[in-house]
Chain A
Amino acid sequence: METGEFTHGKLMNGIVIMLGLIVGVLVGLLGIGGGVVLVPAMVLLLHMDQHLAQGTSLFILLPPIGLGALREYWKRGQVDLRAGILCAAGMLAGAYGGSRIAMPIPSQNLKGLFGVFLMLAAYLLWRKAQLASSSAASSTEEFSG
């Protein structure tokens, strides 16, 4: 059953599957990316090492899970194709750079930096909630990747 790197028994497998479901509900509900929730969940609940949690999160985010949501936006003409492709290209390159920055950082420090980043993301999310309410919020507000 066990495969070296990060081992867990049958019960743990069940817990991990449930965790995925709970994180998924949050993603759909709040329109935020799974990573911001997945990484702390794996670190704090599964006691994973910070680097391992981040690498595993990147793996989980690889399949196009936002495709269904994208279709809805596309149908309403709410997608800037040119900007989207530019963003994808920039992020592909940037993410590689970011991973090279992360590799040599000691896990403990990376964990702390991630914490600071989470607080910043929380602030942006809060601001977004305030802005969304001032500009008439509509029903398709959810999903932002």
Chain B
Amino acid sequence: MAEGKTRDLAILGVACICGIASGMFGIGGGVLLVPLLGLLFAFTQHRAQGTSLLALVLPTGALALMSYAKGGFVSWKTGLLLIPGVFLGGVMGGSLAKRINPKRMREVFAAILFLLGAWQAIAAWAH
């Protein structure tokens, strides 16, 4: 664990890498930030998640969104239709989570995500 300034710079650098993935793939970046804060800077799981939430509450994707918008790659209407559902669903899911074994859920979800990824990669590259 490096002291003050070095640690700050290292965190900034790691966040930059997470940001690149965020802009390249149109995602939030928390999937990378949370484990990296834990693995590289010895954050506890809760502290990593809380800190990631703080970072993501700020509009970190704003500049990336602007370059997608400039390229005509934003469907504003679909986005507006999805936002209320994602918000309401998030609240529902959050309270549901308290009654379900989170470890098992994560494992099932990780498996689904892996298959989705494989499907996308195969659909794109295998002819």
Contacts and interface: CB of A to CB of B under 8 A. Distances in A.
Contacts, number: 453
A132 B50 contact: no
A117 to B, nearest CB: 5
B78 to A, nearest CB: 6
A79 B51 contact: yes
A140 B29 contact: no
Contacts of A113: 24-25
Given A59-B65, A89-B15, A145-B55, A78 B46 contact: yes
B90 to A, nearest CB: 4
Tell me if A's interface is mostly helix, strand, loop or mixed: helix
Given A99-B68, A111-B120, A128-B35, A25 B23 contact: no
B118 to A, nearest CB: 6
Interface string B31-62: 11111011001011111111111111111111
- Most chain-A Cβ atoms within 10 A of its Cβ — which of B22, B69, B118? B22
A11 interface: no
Given A33-B30, A90-B18, A118-B114, 12 more contacts: A3-B76, A19-B82, A24-B89, A38-B86, A55-B74, A56-B82, A61-B28, A93-B19, A96-B19, A101-B24, A132-B45, A135-B45
Interface of A: 3, 5-6, 8, 13, 16-36, 38-40, 42-44, 46, 48-49, 51-70, 73-74, 76, 78-103, 108-109, 111-129, 131-133, 135, 137-145
